[in-house]
Amino acid sequence: MNLHANYSGVLNTIKSHKLCGASESDFLYLVEYHIGYTRRGPLNFGRGYYLRNGTTFKDDILTATGQDFRFPLLVSFVNPVTIVKIPPLETAENPRDLVDEVLDAGTTQEHGVTFRFSIEVGVKEMQRETFEWRRAAASSGRQDNEEGTGHKVKSLYTLHRLAHGYTAASTSTSPPSSGVAGAPDVVAMLAFNSVLSFTHLFTLELKGAGLTGELGDRWTLTAVTTALTIHLLRQLGKTPGASAGSPQKSNGK
């Protein structure tokens, strides 16, 4: 999947991106940027992204990510938590009643910049597991996909499936425990171009269990949405490596 700028009109350019397949012409989902000036959608007055279940602003909101504020100007007085809102686990529930998962951003001595979340995975038998985005070194001259589009990778993240029974209670500054069978499984890769690149923004590639579908559609939605979260934090300069403060702080001070 690839995230591209949406140049189909002035309003679309300001308010949205296009989530596409292998090429920009394969437009799959509209990613709406919610500024938070009005209480519209699941983020209320918070800033973030809405992933629409289609290519227009009229399509239902499939997932959301950002900061949920129910009152205006609250962002100025509290340290917001980065939330990922995804469809409920139970199919009997209204899919529009999104449930919250926290994306825990921080740094570790072993892996540097990390973004950690937990979610129920599987198709028939579900179990809750923990996953962690880790920033990796982008090799010099590496293209953002195998075909090569001419875009040089500026920043690279890999998504790791951590060990069963992994406790998310450990602090963000301590190394996480080892993964499945001694090493975490890599289930996705996220490659960013420069933050000054205004056309092709990132490439998301599912791998291993993430590609086979054994983790479930709900996990895939969460992987896509957390990739959008990292993109948002990078654009706002809120990632751990971008400032001295946590990426979850509202003004980076």
Residue carrying structure tokens 């951590």: 162
* pLDDT attached to residue 106: 86
pLDDT at position 110: 82
Q: What gap in Å lies between CA 144 and CA 34, rounded to an integer?
A: 27
Instruction: Kindly state whether residue 228 falls inside one of the protein's structural domains.
Output: yes
Distance CA(84)–CA(251), nearest Å, equals 20
Residue 153 lies in a domain: yes
124 domain residue, yes or no: yes
Report yes or no on 194 lying in a domain: yes
Give a yes or no: residue 243 inside a domain: no
pLDDT for the residue numbered 72:
58
pLDDT at site 157 = 95
User: According to the model, what pLDDT value does residue 79 have?
Assistant: 53
pLDDT in the model for residue 242 = 55
Examine residue 242 and state whether it is found in any structural domain, yes or no. no
What is the pLDDT, as a whole number, of residue 62? 95
* pLDDT tens track, the chain, 253 positions: 999 988 887 677 778 999 999 999 999 999 999 987 777 888 888 889 999 999 999 999 999 999 876 665 555 445 567 889 999 987 666 767 899 999 998 888 888 889 999 999 988 888 999 999 999 876 544 554 444 445 567 889 999 999 765 444 344 443 343 344 446 799 999 999 876 667 899 999 999 999 999 999 999 999 999 999 999 988 888 777 654 333 333 333 3
Which pLDDT does position 165 carry in this prediction?
52
Strands of the chain (E only): list them. 2-5, 16-20, 27-34, 48-52, 61-66, 83-86, 99-102, 104-108, 112-121, 127-136, 155-161, 185-192, 200-206
Give the per-residue pLDDT at 246.
37
Residue 251 inside a domain? The answer is: no
**Residue 218 belongs to what domain range?**
2-235
For residue 13, the model assigns a pLDDT of 73
Task: Report CA-CA distances (Å) from 126 to 20, 217, 249.
Answer: 29, 12, 33
DSSP 80: P
- Please tell me the predicted confidence (pLDDT) of residue 44: 84
Q: Which two tokens stand for residue 67?
A: 């900061």
Number of independent structural domains in the chain: 1
- Hey, is 50 helix, strand or coil? strand
pLDDT at 93: 67
Does 35 fall in a domain?
Answer: yes
